[in-house]
Amino acid sequence: MERSFAEVVRDCRLHLDLTQEELARRIRTSTPYVALLEAGKRHPSDKIITRLAEVLGLYRRELFFLAYPRAQALPELDAKSAWEDFRRRS
C-alpha cells in the first residue's frame, strides 16, 4: 500500500527529529499549516512542495505526485508536435 502525502511528510519530519514548528520555520509557513498538511486536510502549493522536498531530502516530483495523485493520469504533451502544429498554422 502506497503511503499518502501526509504520512510521508510526517514520517520524514519525525525521522529527521523535527517538530512541526521547526519544519514550519524551515519552509517559511505556519505551524498550524504543517499540522493540516500532515492531517491530509490541506493541499500544498508548488512552492511549499519544493521547500518540503529540500528540507526533508525528498524528490520534488515524487512529493508532488503524492500530493496530487490525479495529476499522474494527465496525458503527456508532446512539445515537438505542438510546436510543429503551431508552425504549420502560422
* Per-residue DSSP letter, 32: H
pLDDT of 21: 98
Q: What is the pTM of this model?
A: 0.77
Share of the chain above pLDDT 90, in %: 72
Cα torsion 58, 35, 5, 16 to 10°: value is 30
Length of the chain: 90
Name residues whose C-beta falls within 8 Å of residue 44's C-beta, 6 or more positions apart in sequence. 5, 37, 52, 67
Could you give the domains of the chain?
A: 5-89 (1.10.260.40)
Whether pLDDT at 45 is above 90: yes
Cα–Cα distance, 11 to 72 (Å, whole number): 23
89: pLDDT strictly greater than 90: no
